[in-house]
Amino acid sequence: MQEDNYSAPAQDKLTLALVDVSIPASYENLTIFGTIIREYCAALPQLLQEALPASETAIPTNYSHLVYCVELVVQEAASNIIRHGYREEAGAGELRLQLSLDASEANLHALVILLEDSAPAFNPTLARIEPPNPLDPRESGYGLYLIQKLTDKLEYWREAGKNYLKMVKYLK
């Protein structure tokens, strides 16, 4: 039995690639990522409205927290790469940041953050970080813990000598 050919074809779900920027890996340059993220996130509500049918538009209720989380997890992951991956050597390599909007899951739009570097392999998703003890809080080691806690999905893979860290934040 043939499908009804007269109805409008289902609109392809969207992946909007919006930011793709590479910087020489250094702490000073991280402020560039921060600025880009804030600017991109400021434009996001409008992009969502234009790109998606009204019924599917989902603008997070706590938008400033979302922007903060994105900036923070990028800063934490990128400084880890600079510190442990590139060992703070000037000119040791690059960091590439890609941001995209993924609407491939129904009613669950996601901001996808992809960090790429060419430092030695390190898989931050495998690090088991104990939750801090409020009675005797530790004096370091909050970075990976925050990355794990503030993202909805965290994936790592290595391909052609490069590390890829994908951090997903649902817009909810």
Partner 1 sequence: MELEYKLAERAGTPLIYLSGRFDSEGAEYFKEQIASLVNAQRPNLVVNMSQVEFVDSLGLAVLVSALKLCRRYKGVMKLVGIQSAPRMLFEVTHLNKAFQIYDDEDSAFAS
Note the residues at the interface with partner 1 (CB under 8 A): 27, 64-65, 68, 71-72, 75-76, 79, 131-135, 137-143, 145-146, 149-150
By DSSP bridging, strand 94-105 and strand 108-117 are antiparallel
Give the 3-state secondary structure of residue 67: helix
CB of 24 or CB of 132, closer to partner 1: 132
Nearest distance from residue 36's CB to partner 1, in Å?
A: 15
Give the 3-state secondary structure of residue 107: coil
The set of residues, in sequence order, having a beta carbon less than 8 Å from that of 31 and lying 6+ positions away, is none
Find out whether 88 and 151 touch, Cβ atoms under 8 Å.
no
Q: Is 26 left (phi over 0), alpha (psi -120 to 50) or beta?
A: beta
Nearest distance from residue 31's CB to partner 1, in Å?
A: 9
Nearest distance from residue 138's CB to partner 1, in Å?
A: 7
CB of 134 or CB of 161, closer to partner 1: 134
CB of 69 or CB of 103, closer to partner 1: 69
Nearest distance from residue 134's CB to partner 1, in Å?
A: 4
